[in-house]
Structure 1
Amino acid sequence: MSTKPIIHVLAFDLGASSGRAMVGTLDRTAPEGPVLRIEEVHRFPNEPVQAGGHLYWDILRLLHEMKTGFRKASEGRDIESFGIDTWGVDYGLLGEDGELLGNPYHYRDGRTHDTVAKVHGIIGQDRLFTETGLQPLVFNTVMQLHAAAESGSVSLKHAKELLFIPDLLLYLLTGVKQSEYTIASTSQLLHAGKQEWHEELLSELGIPADILKPVVMPGTVVGALSDEVCAELKLPPIRAVAVPEHDTGAAVVSVPSTDGKPLAYLICGTWSLLGTELADPVLDPAALALGFSNEGGMGGTARTLKNIMGLWLIQECKREWDQSVTPRSFAELVKLAEEAPAFRSFIDPDDLLFLPPGGMPDRIRRYCRETGQPVPETEGEITRCIYESLAMQYRLVLARLEALTGNTYGGLHMMGGGIQNKFLCRMTASAIGRPVWAGPVEASSLGNMAAQLIALGEVADMTEARGLIKRSYPLDIYEPEQPEVWDEAFERYLSITKMSIMPGK
């Protein structure tokens, strides 16, 4: 541990629609004890590019924006280290000379649309889950690579190395090639709960195992900015830390829970991730049937969680409304929703009808029409339908999580940008019938920073890091309201969506 009263670290937090460069400042001079302050120094869009019938990430634009982030972060500060977290599953391929073989595919690209059935025909659904711990989602890395192998992809044939998106960006900045554990755990290429590639599975699917790099655990200093990048940016060789590079893995580090009791978290953004932190993955067949996955966490823990479609639904509606009617802010849409009738219509947020972009308001109307419900027409009615349905889905998934783990959760830690929507937080507390502890907003960035501070020896461990975050960012607490009304509405939700807490029981 250093004796410096002020320590600055830089977190790059890249989501599926935007990225940020965030400076974290560990301030040991605060009267209440050390605190971790956060400042956004650069924000930039992350927009996919459609070309030649495929959807790609503009990886070099992201690299350019990150370099701008380094410049801005270093104005008047000495940055001790940096780390990168992003969405999961996507990757880039490097050739013999270490150069990138084309732009990485976007996980919503359509080339894998029929791959799950093909992979199940080779591996078997039950075996695939019990051996990897992940749901067989159409965009998982294993599906992308099998589709590439089956199509005779020239890039895959010539690839010498595969790097997941945060590792690819780290390589372009430092020259270091690695596979960080939490991001690798989203690929469905690892043995469940282990830091080992499943080479037998890879062989059966025609995927070359030798392109995968050794797995590195988060919380490790792995290198520094390359000489070339230092010269370009006129910066010293800032240390690079392998943080939990999957943004959900980073966010879970920042759960402000220090009492040692079982915890349940909801990371609320474009996707909603509701789960818990365990010593070992849950590989029960019921977990497969209920859509739960097991990803890797800081310290080798298992993140047993369920992906829920999340704020993608309202983001897509707003995008369409902004093009056809008077643009409204999210806050204005919430106000319209508050004025709309309650519990009029529900959707299953995870219905595959809502996965593709485009036409979201009409898709929601179609779902309601086909399920015999009143069809929401106005912006307020559709917005309320989305938020009430999300709250109900959170209740359902939390109940299923308790059934799978045998744990009872006293409340729900709700984190991420979505908690700025107090309307949704209130609804969630009422839906689950227990408190919602909301905070922090910048969960992924703070978890990224905490992992850097642990790697640097400035913070001892996860427990101290969570206490630091809890002290730095007090929680907003939402208590349930009108429990009988919400219980009755939840039964209607289950009836409309044809779901139950434990199917078959």
Structure 2
Amino acid sequence: MKKYSLAVDIGASSGRLVLGSLEKGRLELQEIHRFSNEIIEKNGHFCWNIEALFEEVKTGIKKCGSLGIVPSSIGIDTWAVDFVLLDERDQLLTDAVAYRDPRTDGIMEEVTGIFMKERLYLETGIQFQKFNTIYQLYALKKQQPEILEKAKSFLMIPDYLHFLLTGKKTNEYTNATSTQLINAFTRKWDKDIIQTLGFDIHMFQEIEAPKAVLGPIKEELAREFGFGMDVILPATHDTGSAVLAVPQVEDTIYISSGTWSLIGVENYFPICVTKALDYNFTNEGGMDYQFRFLKNIMGLWMIQEIRRNYENRYSFAELAELAEAVTGMVPVVNVDAPRFLKPDDMVAEIQAYCLETGQKAPESPGEVAKCIFVSLADSYQRAVFEIEDIFEKEFKSISVIGGGSKNELLNQLIAETTKKEVYAGPTEASAIGNLVAQLIALNEIAGIKEARHIVRQSFEVKKYRHSISEKQGGIV
């Protein structure tokens, strides 16, 4: 009888439930349920609708039952840094405030005035971004101190969803590292940082690593679904899961391409040197305590936003086609400028940036889209240079995984800009990595090395070459 595991993969714009099973050495996927995820305005903040997200998870599980499929296990991954706080009765004290909320404006500078920036990086190895959990918590301490005083439990978004499934509270390692509160060397909560900033160390949970079995879902949920299953922790940070689906890691830089672009390499130890700090790279935790040495770059969020600005008249594929039809030079913007994090009008913001920097503003939807794609490729190229400078070696290729791997124009621009071979795929990388962790825990896969072999056998990868290669451009 075929065994199934169920991956719940929720990104910043959409979520999906994907069944996975092994068949003759190949990983077979079956998407069961897909839903949108949007930031809402609630109680004066930009928030995630956490209650609706859990209902979508339940809907997907019930669809498995309607198909006569009973998964052996389930695991949830989401984006990083965001959290909820619970009181002594395990009731929500906070909304699931989104990282794009402006409550952290100016907070990072205050925190680094208390805890020296260089020391914070030396201990945590985490990239400085204004929305990191550490700054969200400090903003809460300043703006609503009574909430922090009542807080008994700190749970990140996937931790909370796992809690709703099992009643068990834990903080999963890969996502916890994104808080900038985990010591990169001990892999535990950094009590010195936490106590210096006046947070209650007791609200943080025990750190659990990917592959940990939390146990069965609640009995009342098993009755509601008509079946039970175990909850197994994947790398709950979606990028941590996605990197497990990189088919080949030797001499390869990966780009996990979605709402955000995460560009980096796998490493066996944290790199907390001055040059890494100056380049603002991060050392996020991975499965089996590997490190994802990477930089967080504004990704296809900008395309998602201009599509919204154009009232969804164009699909993402149509915007790429319009961009490809644009000839000649287009302006380049700094995609990581804070002004692009959540502007009222992304199109207007891009045009204003171009005019302010002495460039001709893009006008048509195709010009705006191509400006974004070219600017992303330019940002990737700078990150590649920085990675090679830090490691003092040249990497031969780039692996693009995630939803952005379907964007042929962007993939070719990456090849042209970096002068490297680009391998694109698999698309559902986070779901695949989520399933890999569960299958390893269930002894269906021996480990990461075998998992990557299975990924290579199971999913199509397209190759892109730059125009000065032996073969001219395009997909080969």
One fold, TM greater than 0.5?
Answer: yes
Task: State yes or no: 1:309 paired with 2:305.
Answer: no
Of residues 381, 395, 400, the one that matches 2:367 is 381
Which residue in the other structure is 1:78 paired with?
A: 70
1:48–1:55 contact (8 Å) kept in structure 2 = yes
1:316–1:357 contact (8 Å) kept in structure 2 = no
**Amino acid across the alignment from 1:61:** A
Alpha-carbon distance, 1:482 to partner: 4.7
Of residues 420, 431, 436, the one that matches 1:445 is 431
Which residue in the other structure is 2:14 paired with?
A: 18
Residues 279-428 of structure 1 mapped to structure 2, 5 A cutoff:
279-322=268-311, 327-428=313-414
2:128–2:280 contact (8 Å) kept in structure 1 = no
2:282–2:295 contact (8 Å) kept in structure 1 = yes
Task: State yes or no: 1:210 paired with 2:206.
Answer: no
1:21–1:40 contact (8 Å) kept in structure 2 = yes
CA distance in 2: counterparts of 1:52 and 1:458, whole angstroms = 46
**Amino acid across the alignment from 2:48:** W
Note the alpha carbon deviations across 1:443-484, whole angstroms, 9 max, x for none. Answer: 00000000100010110000000110110003100111158x
| 3-state secondary structure, aligned to 2:129 | coil
Which residue in the other structure is 1:486 paired with?
A: none
CA distance in 1: counterparts of 2:138 and 2:218, whole angstroms = 34
Structure 2: 5+ residue stretches without partners? 470-476
Note the alpha carbon deviations across 1:24-76, whole angstroms, 9 max, x for none. Answer: 12113xxxxx1101111111121222123212221111111100111112322
Which residue in the other structure is 1:229 paired with?
A: 221
Residues 233-272 of structure 1 mapped to structure 2, 5 A cutoff:
233-236=225-228, 238-257=229-248, 261-272=250-261
Q: TM-score, normalised by structure 2?
A: 0.96
CA distance in 1: counterparts of 2:402 and 2:17, whole angstroms = 16
Alpha-carbon distance, 1:235 to partner: 1.6
CA distance in 1: counterparts of 2:234 and 2:393, whole angstroms = 28
CA distance in 1: counterparts of 2:16 and 2:363, whole angstroms = 35
1:180–1:215 contact (8 Å) kept in structure 2 = yes
Alpha-carbon distance, 1:285 to partner: 1.3
**Amino acid across the alignment from 1:480:** H
Q: TM-score, normalised by structure 1?
A: 0.90
**Amino acid across the alignment from 1:227:** E
Note the alpha carbon deviations across 1:237-291, whole angstroms, 9 max, x for none. Answer: x011011000000001111017xx2431001111000000001111111211212
1:17–1:45 contact (8 Å) kept in structure 2 = yes
| 3-state secondary structure, aligned to 1:7 | coil
Of residues 212, 236, 258, the one that matches 1:220 is 212
**Amino acid across the alignment from 1:23:** L
| 1:284–1:175 distance in 2 versus 1, CA, 3 Å | same
CA distance in 2: counterparts of 1:329 and 1:482, whole angstroms = 32
CA distance in 2: counterparts of 1:360 and 1:257, whole angstroms = 36
Alpha-carbon distance, 1:101 to partner: 1.9
| 3-state secondary structure, aligned to 1:78 | coil
Task: State yes or no: 1:38 paired with 2:29.
Answer: yes
Note the alpha carbon deviations across 1:4-41, whole angstroms, 9 max, x for none. Answer: 5x32110000011111111112113xxxxx11011111
**Amino acid across the alignment from 1:320:** N
Alpha-carbon distance, 1:193 to partner: 4.0
| 3-state secondary structure, aligned to 1:295 | strand
1:341–1:381 contact (8 Å) kept in structure 2 = no
**Amino acid across the alignment from 1:468:** I
Residues 53-64 of structure 1 mapped to structure 2, 5 A cutoff:
53-64=44-55
| 3-state secondary structure, aligned to 1:79 | coil
Task: State yes or no: 1:175 paired with 2:171.
Answer: no
Of residues 15, 28, 39, the one that matches 1:48 is 39
Q: Could you tell which deviates more after superposition, 238-247 or 93-102? A: 93-102
Which residue in the other structure is 2:85 paired with?
A: 93
Which residue in the other structure is 1:102 paired with?
A: 94
Structure 1: 5+ residue stretches without partners? 29-33, 484-505
CA distance in 1: counterparts of 2:201 and 2:110, whole angstroms = 20
Alpha-carbon distance, 1:369 to partner: 1.0
2:343–2:349 contact (8 Å) kept in structure 1 = no
Task: State yes or no: 1:476 paired with 2:462.
Answer: yes
Of residues 180, 189, 205, the one that matches 2:181 is 189
CA distance in 1: counterparts of 2:393 and 2:3, whole angstroms = 38
| 1:292–1:342 distance in 2 versus 1, CA, 3 Å | farther
CA distance in 1: counterparts of 2:204 and 2:160, whole angstroms = 12
Which residue in the other structure is 1:9 paired with?
A: 5
**Amino acid across the alignment from 1:284:** V
**Amino acid across the alignment from 1:446:** I
CA distance in 1: counterparts of 2:63 and 2:436, whole angstroms = 21
Aligned residues: 469
Task: State yes or no: 1:117 paired with 2:109.
Answer: yes
**Amino acid across the alignment from 2:29:** I
